[in-house]
A and B are shown apart, each in its own frame.
Chain A
């Protein structure tokens, strides 16, 4: 494995902040609505990006995992948030969102959110370019913590999408996080009981494993916050796809001598699905605008996008499943795959914990 440097890379000052603020296309910080207008001017560019992503995601469906990585990297999709020095594009969340939407809508079988985050976090580390170029598959264990000192980590971690195919795994540690190689001794990957079928979760038992790079506590916390809008976009894209499927179904199926879409109860259900999709989109656009403006409220906006996606987006997917009637309960109709993924993402991001933190912030602010 090319990236298996044994020398530890201290990543205390991560590139992630740069990735967020360095989006030249989004207008200068502090421009307020002007930044929003600049983002709008750039909508064509973002739309083209989204189109590329849709094609790449569709192409990936027929490919083995390694080739998916090359396909996505070839289209520049793995390094959106990574610095240019690592072969990335150094763009902001306004570009990542449509790509994650396409990944969600297209049931991409690749840990894309994890790759985007790791490409940004380790952009200036030796392992960075290989992740961005798709030569190394890296993923993140969203649950559990590895104990131990500097170069000997042990413990059981979980909620790691597609880790059985990956080369590197980011695990939480007492001081932040560490990127550990998966091909050496001391690594046991075991199946977990995850719902997701696209990037199945596994648990990993580590015994005295030496990391190739680390993140400090602040960079680790930032990575978790940066994951929120990516997940939100994936669920939003999935919800929009499920709405389209439900709409197609009720527009063609007939009962009682009428197409189902003529029944008001179903029209209202579709309208609420649309409302949910628009909530997620509006929250993501606000987040991107606030990031572009360098505004501190971007953090709450990121949390809002994820909370909106896990609450309204998942409800919309469930509603779309319901509108499919008996068909919706079959394996063949893809809605259940979106629901499985969305519920998995809800667990990976610890939506209950996020809500607790939101409430605690509110109580603290009014103490």
Chain B
């Protein structure tokens, strides 16, 4: 089977845009950047920034955004193609994914003209990295219970509160902040969105060390932080509905390269095992065939869920809550795969060669970070709830004592 061909979507093999993307990546991916190649060195923040800025200049970021805001004015179809090619290469994850895939689309949806011009170009040029200030110590899955308060102060807002698990906060210049303008009892109503400057007086970031050893998320304390009116996104009571609307699309379209990256990981795992006599015997023995095949199938199913979303959105159709089906599947499938990879590679004998050691390092990272994937962006339990409530439309409560 030709894996190269098998990763192409229907009829897009000869697409000129794909040729452009391939040529650009071949010419521009920095030395040592690919995690499945010899000589890989995990790039630092500055290298990631430079790389992503270069990707934007090369047309591979902000693909669907209007050109007046620094985008490239293309369709989701090109976005899918670029993601497939990015996914097929073991490139680093974006350090500004929350800007590009969450804040940006929300700003495009509800921001003023002036806000779009002010926020979007620096975001794509990687001069401003964004973080997401949604979750709080007592408002995780129950996001509508958040307590961070924004009160009017003349034309400006004054914010007090505390956010936690704020992804990307230690490196961010801006925070997409969800705060309450009304009473806690109002729940969904009275929630407002802000583009808060992270260097504003009163903002304190305390990085949290994650179980994978990184410090990507953080606690963010806001003590009388003043946010100018120009940094309020949408009307004060639009925050929640805007967030929910955008989140439903984002859940279905973010990191669209995922299936193809999983494929890259699976191929890397097999190659690495092949490089060691003990692991090669394990692979060829057949005991792992079933799980390897199920991984292949899991990845094909991710593709089968992702590609129609692009078609639906291009056709102007609503994708509803389909993102929950996709998210539930890919997150669990990736955990299954990561556990398989770890189990295989940890059977490497002492003294295994550099290819096996590099793969062990990569898949240990992947295994640990994959534990977060069924937690962030709505836990598995939240997704199951959404599928039951909104897709199957199950009745929520039984009538007491009868039906």
A contact residues vs B (CB 8 Å cutoff): 29-37, 40, 247, 251-252, 254, 257-259, 261-262, 264, 267-268, 270-272, 274-275, 278-279, 282-283, 285-286, 289-290, 292-297, 300-301, 303-304, 307-308, 311, 352, 354-356, 358-367
Contact = CB atoms under 8 A, between A and B. Distances in A.
26 contacts: A30-B14, A35-B10, A247-B394, A254-B403, A257-B400, A261-B394, A267-B385, A268-B384, A268-B388, A271-B383, A271-B385, A271-B387, A271-B388, A278-B325, A279-B301, A279-B305, A282-B301, A283-B304, A296-B2, A301-B300, A307-B294, A358-B293, A358-B296, A359-B288, A362-B267, A362-B293
Contact of B297 (A29, A293, A311): A311
Most B C-beta atoms less than 10 A away, residue of A36, A247, A283, A352: A36
A34 B388 CA distance: 33
A366 to B, nearest CB: 4
Interface string B1-31: 1110111111111110000000000000000
B10 A293 contact: yes
B266 interface: yes
B146 interface: no
A30 B11 contact: yes
B384 A32 contact: no
Most buried by B among A32, A268, A270, A292: A32
Contacts of A285: 304, 308
Given A247-B394, A252-B403, 8 more contacts: A32-B12, A295-B10, A304-B297, A308-B301, A311-B297, A355-B290, A362-B292, A363-B284
Interface string B297-324: 1001101110110110011000000000
A32 B289 contact: no
Q: Specify which of B1, B11, B315, B385 lies most central, judged by the most chain A CB atoms within 10 Å of its CB.
A: B11
Given A258-B398, A297-B8, A361 B301 contact: no
A270 B297 CA distance: 22
Contacts of B1: 300, 361, 364-365
B328 interface: yes
B3 A262 contact: no
A251 B7 CA distance: 42
B350 interface: no
B394 A267 contact: yes
A367 B2 CA distance: 12
Contacts of B9: 32-33
A356 B293 contact: yes
B368 interface: no
Contact of A40 (B267, B296, B315): B315
B45 interface: no
Contact of A358 (B288, B297, B314): B297
B286 interface: yes
Given A37-B311, A275-B325, A362 B388 contact: no
B274 interface: yes
A274 B392 contact: yes
A35 B3 CA distance: 23
B12 A311 contact: no
A331 B381 CA distance: 34
Contacts of A259: 395, 398-399, 403
A142 B62 CA distance: 52
Contacts of A283: 300-301, 304
Contacts of B371: none
B303 A366 contact: no
B274 A367 contact: yes
List the 5 shortest-distance A-B pairs measured between CB atoms, nearest first. Answer: A32-B11, A359-B289, A259-B398, A358-B293, A293-B11
Contacts, number: 181
Contact of B398 (A40, A254, A295): A254
Contacts of A286: 10, 300, 303-304, 307-308
A254 B400 CA distance: 10
Contact of A261 (B270, B297, B395): B395
Given A31-B11, A295-B11, A360 B308 contact: no
Contacts of A35: 10-11
B216 interface: no
B395 A356 contact: no
A209 to B, nearest CB: 36
Interface string B209-248: 0000000000000000000000000000000000000000
Contacts of B328: 275
A286 B300 CA distance: 9
Contacts of A297: 5-8, 10
B79 to A, nearest CB: 12
Contact of B289 (A252, A279, A300, A356): A356
A359 B297 contact: no
Nearest to B266: A362
A283 B8 CA distance: 15
Nearest to B10: A293
Contacts of B286: 356, 359
B263 to A, nearest CB: 10
Interface string B249-293: 000000000000000001100110010000000011010111011
B391 A274 contact: yes
> Most chain-B Cβ atoms within 10 A of its Cβ — which of A40, A251, A278?
A278
B397 interface: yes
Contacts of A354: 293
A25 B207 CA distance: 57
Contacts of B290: 352, 355, 359
Contacts of A252: 403
A272 B384 contact: yes
A267 B388 contact: yes
Contacts of B188: none
B266 to A, nearest CB: 7
B9 to A, nearest CB: 7
B116 interface: no
Contacts of B15: 32
B294 A311 contact: yes
A202 to B, nearest CB: 30
Contacts of B388: 267-268, 270-271
B382 to A, nearest CB: 11
Interface in B347-403: 381, 383-385, 387-388, 391-392, 394-401, 403
B187 interface: no
B189 interface: no
Contacts of A355: 289-290, 293-294
B77 interface: yes
B158 interface: no
B110 to A, nearest CB: 29
A320 to B, nearest CB: 13
B391 to A, nearest CB: 6
Given A37-B315, A254-B398, A307 B293 contact: yes
Given A267-B385, A275-B387, A282 B304 contact: yes
